[in-house]
Structure 1
Amino acid sequence: MAHGPVLVIGLDPARIPGWDPDPVVSAIARGHARFAEYGIEADLCLTAADTAAEEQITAALTRREYACVVVGGGIRKHEPLLEFFEQVVNLVHRHAPGAAIAFNSTPEDTVDAALRRLG
């Protein structure tokens, strides 16, 4: 079954201070590779919760029409990022109104989150 493209928005582990990004980078790569198993095109938008995020996320959302946008757990689950999470959801709502919105728990279950919304 063919599905439209998916955009994954997550925190860039290389831009989190005091954090070893390698394990997360590897998990993101493994999770992203799973999309190919389902024949789904997927784009990544890795960002930081900073002033450039809105422009970066908006550019990614408007690059093409997405069937689903997955917002990563790093954005959603970390309480200090609540306002950033709201900003991300509202940007998806504004710039990709036809896309389903999904939330993953880990980088490796991102395709599962997308598949829940893609049907």
Structure 2
Amino acid sequence: MFANLFVVLTALLHAGFLVLEMFFWTKPAGLKTFRMRPEHAEATRVLAANQGLYNGFLAAGLVWSLVQPDVGFAFQLKLFFLVCVILAAIYGALSVKPRILLVQGGPAIVALVFTLLAF
């Protein structure tokens, strides 16, 4: 139960990242969240939308892992998508800012631990 709760949290976070990066990057919410100037946001808008789309794929994969009726395959899906999220968070922490590991990777790491303990 805790594993699935953190998988849901991770999926919701990535769905939120999709919305922020694809639709609100150049809007006040995006500018404030990512601490950007409007000129910089506009110059990177397409890159952010691409990034948001990838976050959407991660969210979709995590949701798929929750609705998959085959327990073994659901476990494999959770492992795959959670590890993808964690690797992306590590890369973001090293290349952009360390806080990304906590915000993006934290819930995924907890979900992965609980998923491994539950199986």
Normalising by structure 1, report the TM-score.
0.30
Larger-Rg structure: 2
Higher helix share: 2
Higher strand share: 1
Normalising by structure 2, report the TM-score.
0.30
